[in-house]
Amino acid sequence: MTSPNPRPFTYIHERLTCSGADLTDLAERFGTPLYVYSADAVIDRTAMLQAAFAPLPHTLCYAVKANSSLAILKLLAAQGCGFDIVSGGELERVRRAAPNALPHVVFSGVGKQLWEIDAALHADILLFNVESEAELELLSQRAQARNKIARIALRVNPDVFAETHPYISTGLREHKFGIAIERARDVYRRAAALPGIDPAGVSVHIGSQIRSVEPFAESLQRVRSLVEDLRSDGLNIRFVDGGGGFGIEYGTAAFDPAASVSAYASALCRILDGLGAHLLLEPGRFLVAQAGALLTRVLYTKQNGTKHFVITDAAMNDLIRPALYQAHHEILPVIATDRPAQVADIVGPVCETGDFFARDRTLPELLSGDLAALLDAGAYGMSLASHYNTRTHPAEVLIEAGDARLIRRRETLDDLLATELT
């Protein structure tokens, strides 16, 4: 049975709400553009994954890059999550938001810097996902220097095709990520001989926004075979990091997250059954994307020939996914009206033709002063925001049990310019 609405954004008496909080009221209180998140929706998605993978010992290591707001990290840590980080900055975010979660951090990424490695060793994180032999050698040197043991997993590249946007596909030979799975045994032998290195796991990540279970299953089957080979070589491999990338539905097609998770978990649990390894998963988008929306106000409307434009106070610097990935975000008027439908480009004020949220989108007519919500913006929205055109960052609000809490104040021009020297 399909869930009636996988998003927490619903109309109550013709007014759009988030987990019961009226978005019109939020715009009046906090201004626009404004990111709005539902804590209840994040908790529900986390519980969904925890329950589905209960047959296996596992840890959800939330991908911090999806949404790195401190309040979101604290919320997820309270649900028993660890974290997947890709920078020293993200490590510091975890340390500030949820220091007790540091032993459940995995550090991914192809270009770890020396200071980042040292900080992670000092924090005694769970696992380094190593992506090159050069990184492995440096990690050994730094672990020795600090009298530490670095638990590592090689991120293997299984050469599995995942049908997704080419910018977020990571599992093929031509991508910069990982080590070819055919070479992995040799590299693990080298790792076992290096001082300060504990080869503890195998890691794989094939991409993001993947809606089919088959690529995950195929890559995990190859990882299982590798784990068995490594154990026969005498290595104590006790972690399998299955990566992240489990996708959502951004459009209006039916989407039942519980059924999708069930199929995903069933396939992975079947493949790893009896292996005796602790499964690490790195969900990001699935947990937070549909829990969030970007609230914006219409500044102007205009007609250029046959094209109608709706110009909002949010722009590509606030939500770059449509410009960067040609991504679709549903757009809803915050106040439902009986105005006629209109085909329009929904655009921002940034001085780029690429500054758009939708092109030739059919929506109820939007007029100057109206509020609109761009849905499914909880992942890779604020975390990809920029200051292009010297525009300040939006504020962020978290809705918990119907109450709105400011979790990031609106940035000022003084904030933006504070680090610059003349």
CATH of the domain at 401: 2.40.37.10
Q: Mark residue 419 as left, alpha or beta (left: phi above 0; alpha: psi -120 to 50; beta: remaining).
A: alpha
- Quick one: 44 and 190 in the same domain? yes
The reply to whether 395 falls in a domain is: yes
Q: How many domains does the chain have?
A: 2
Please identify which residue in the block is written with the tokens 């100057």.
368
The reply to whether 105 falls in a domain is: yes
Where does a domain end: 270, 288, 306?
288
- Quick one: 201 and 160 in the same domain? yes
- Quick one: 151 and 247 in the same domain? yes
- Quick one: 186 and 205 in the same domain? yes
- Quick one: 24 and 44 in the same domain? no
The reply to whether 87 falls in a domain is: yes
| Backbone Cα Rg of the chain | 23
199 preceded by a cis bond (ω within 30 of 0)? no
Lowest mean per-residue pLDDT among 43-47, 152-156, 174-178: 174-178
What's the rounded Cα separation, in Å, for the pair 377 and 291? 8
The reply to whether 1 falls in a domain is: no
Average pLDDT over residues 317-329: 95
| pLDDT at res. 175 | 59
- Which CATH number goes with the domain that contains 250? 3.20.20.10
Reported as a single tens digit per residue, the pLDDT across 272-293 is 999 999 999 999 999 999 999 9
Does position 165 have pLDDT exceeding 50, yes or no?
A: no
- Quick one: 298 and 409 in the same domain? yes
Does position 173 have pLDDT exceeding 80, yes or no?
A: no
- Quick one: 353 and 242 in the same domain? no
The reply to whether 249 falls in a domain is: yes
| pLDDT at res. 393 | 98
The catalytic residues are 351
- Quick one: 108 and 195 in the same domain? yes
The reply to whether 422 falls in a domain is: no
**Residue 387 belongs to domain spanning:** 9-37+290-417
Please list, in sequence order, all residues whose beta carbon lies within 8 angstroms of the beta carbon of residue 373, skipping any fewer than 6 positions away.
Answer: 9, 16, 23, 36, 293, 294, 295, 296, 331, 332, 334
- Quick one: 86 and 13 in the same domain? no
Torsion, CA 214, CA 111, CA 166, CA 239, rounded to 10: 10
Query: If pLDDT is split at 50, 70 and 90, which confidence band does 168 have?
Result: very low
The reply to whether 2 falls in a domain is: no
- Quick one: 150 and 173 in the same domain? yes
Where does a domain end: 242, 272, 288?
288
- Higher per-residue pLDDT: 316 or 206: 316
- Quick one: 255 and 340 in the same domain? no
State the pairing for strand pair 371-375/331-333: antiparallel
For the chain, what is the mean pLDDT? 94
The reply to whether 242 falls in a domain is: yes
Average pLDDT over residues 140-150: 98
- Quick one: 282 and 307 in the same domain? no
Where does a domain end: 288, 315, 330?
288
